[in-house]
Amino acid sequence: MELIKAGARRRIGSGRNTCSWGEPWFPDVNNGYVMTPMHVQLRGTKVHSLVQMNERRCDLDVIQDIFQSRDTRLIKHIPLPLNENTNSWYWILDEKGEFTVKSGYRWLQGEVNDA
Percentage of residues in the chain with pLDDT exceeding 70?
Answer: 90
CB 75 within 8 Å of CB 63? yes
Structural element, H or E, at residue 3: helix 2-7
Return the pLDDT at 58: 82
How far is residue 74's CA from residue 79's CA, in Å, rounded to a whole number? Answer: 10
Q: What is the pLDDT of residue 82?
A: 66
| Single-letter code of the amino acid located at 18 | T
User: What's the confidence (pLDDT) of residue 15?
Assistant: 83
Q: What residues of the chain score a pLDDT lower than 70?
A: 53-55, 82-84, 112-115
pTM above 0.75, yes or no: yes
**What's the confidence (pLDDT) of residue 54?**
67
Residue 63: the pLDDT is 92
**What local confidence, expressed as pLDDT, does residue 28 receive?**
92
Would you state the pLDDT for residue 10? 93
Cβ partners under 8 Å of residue 1, min gap 6: none
Distance CA(79)–CA(36), nearest Å, equals: 21
